[in-house]
Amino acid sequence: MNATTRASAPIDDFDLPWASFAEFFASQHHSRTTYLVELDHDAGTRREWTYEQWQRWIDGAADTLADLGVQQGECVAGLSGSSADALKLAFACWVRGACYLPLNPHEPVERLSYVLNDAQARFVVHTDAWAADANRIIAGTVARTVSSASLDRGSPAEHDKHPGASLDTPALRVYTSGTTGAPKGVVLTTANLLTDCDALHRALDWKLGTRLLTILPIHHVNGLVVSSLQSWYGGHTTVLCDRFRSDRFWQDVTAEGIEACSMVPSLLEFLLADDTGPAPDHFREVLCGAGPLMSDTVANFEERFDVPVRHLYGLSETTAVATLMDRSPEPSRHTWYSDHGFPSIGPAVPHVEVAVHDPDGNTCPPDRRGELVIRGATVMSCYAGRTDETAEALRDGWFHTGDEGFWLPAPDGTPYFFITGRLKELIIRGGVNISPLSIDQVLTSHPAVRFGLAIPFENRYYGEEVAAYVVCDEEASEQEIIEYCAQWLDFAYQPKVVVFGDDVPFTATGKAKRLDLKQQLSDALDTYRDTQFRRNGKDPSR
């Protein structure tokens, strides 16, 4: 490929066999096989749908979206938590040819209102549990609320209302924080979604009917694409939990005959903290990504539970998964996970090309650190409405991840990739991207603080946690700073440790060198590497 080739252009001869999502959706003929089980432990309920039942439910919901006047490519927002209703809306949007906009109900109202306005969404579909929140976030927007129950129909109409949007139609818009602090809308097409599902289907090589436990929130691409849509693509069963609970995890695995589960590193640590193991024989593997994963976490988990961990890597901008560790024999696996200082994220999945580039755009040789770059048909079409940022991210025919890493060849020459850190300043806590600037603003608003900077530090339980570096004009204690931040920030965003200093390193243009400061304070913050910070003294996993 030359430098002008689009990062989202196919890199192989794979061609999707369907002309639209509606055609793909109708092509699954597993009928009485179970597609979805919904577990709501708070409500004490269990609901189940076969493939045939799910198709009828989704077709009816898509008909209702058409009656509401939803057009192809138009964004429809969902506020339903991790529930079957949230998945219903996603699938109904895709069948209709609309763009699904998942909302995280735990985010601030202001951010959700911003997202609605930016996406120009006319509807927010919600379950009863989130009705009040939905009404709050539509204030100042053009959106109106729609009950999820109102989408249900007993008998769907004929499919002439859904002639099928093209594969290039926007199908999913997910918002990710940037270093500027303002959320960016990642636009993914139907082709992006289905190509990534095919890549996962080939790389995972799961047998028909594999039972997968979905514990990650489905407003995130991992829970939505890896665990849910990919299950439909491959003819599997997904068991959807309303949220992760370490004290229920193994009970659900046993009761539901679970064979695999996708997690983030912090969940491995929560399970290791419980006095359980080994896993049931039918539980065969764990997928793990969306945050820094330590080699000793992998080793401890595999030793305790006798279940292999397959490290993966991807971003919203690459639909979901770009690399995945294979099922190599144990001695080889331990080499990739333990002998290089970082656990390998594996080779690129099918339909995706990954490389490591130096600052001049040249490919780095083995074991030379540079920026991980990605291209292929799973790469996003754009950041919505952000031409300059799209051009910067997709320059020279590659998507630039902002992550630093290196690669090493396998005996057959296949590149295996490693992540060593990030070039960008995002803090990734428990798989969630946190813009440090929003924390900086709170820190510097404290009357005693002249300058405040949020910096990440390595933490066993969340991959990264938040520390604050502050320069004060007046005397203030660490506890005072932490309690002040707690008034304005959710627990995930709150600094857990405060480091006091006299100055801050600046660039020539006056920008604080956050990454330099992180490096300077790494020894002091390493003291808290194994500390599990708790909200009100409670285990946040329960």
List, for residues 17-65, the tens digit of each pLDDT value. Answer: 999 999 999 998 887 899 999 999 999 999 999 999 999 999 999 999 9
pLDDT tens, 344-384? 999 999 999 999 999 999 999 999 989 999 999 999 999 99
- Residue range(s) defining the domain that contains residue 503: 427-528
Q: Rounded to whole angstroms, how far apart are CA atoms 495 and 427? A: 12
Q: What is the mean pLDDT of the chain?
A: 90
Of 270, 269, 253, the closest CA to residue 261 belongs to 253
Is it the case that residue 108 has pLDDT exceeding 90?
Answer: no
Asked whether residue 460 is domain-assigned, the answer is yes
Strand partners, 97: none
Asked whether residue 446 is domain-assigned, the answer is yes
- Band (pLDDT 50/70/90 cuts) for residue 335 is confident
pLDDT at 397: 94
Give me the percent of the chain exceeding a pLDDT of 90: 72
pLDDT tens, 497-525? 999 998 877 654 456 778 888 889 999 99
Is it the case that residue 542 has pLDDT exceeding 50?
Answer: no
Asked whether residue 152 is domain-assigned, the answer is no
pLDDT tens, 160-208? 556 678 999 999 999 986 544 578 999 999 999 999 999 999 999 999 9
Query: Tokens standing for 321?
Result: 């998964």
Contacts for 355-363: CB closer than 8 Å, 24+ residues apart: 355/398, 355/407, 355/415, 356/405, 356/406, 356/407, 356/417, 357/398, 361/396
Q: How many domains does the chain have?
A: 1
Of 286, 357, 281, the closest CA to residue 325 belongs to 286
Asked whether residue 501 is domain-assigned, the answer is yes
The number of residues in the chain equals 542
pLDDT at 69: 94
β 34-40/237-241 pair status: parallel
pLDDT tens, 16-28? 999 999 999 999 8
Is it the case that residue 103 has pLDDT exceeding 90?
Answer: yes
Asked whether residue 121 is domain-assigned, the answer is no
Phi, psi of 134 (to 5 degrees): -60, -40
Task: Assign residue 435 the CATH number of its domain.
Answer: 3.30.300.30
Q: What is the DSSP string of 302-348?
A: HHHH---EEEEE--GGGSS-SEE-----HHHHHHHHHSSSS---BSB
Asked whether residue 444 is domain-assigned, the answer is yes
β 260-263/285-288 pair status: parallel
pLDDT at 179: 45
Asked whether residue 519 is domain-assigned, the answer is yes
Of 456, 401, 453, the closest CA to residue 426 belongs to 456
Q: What is the mean pLDDT of residues 71-76?
A: 94
Asked whether residue 195 is domain-assigned, the answer is no
The pTM score is 0.85
β 449-459/463-472 pair status: antiparallel
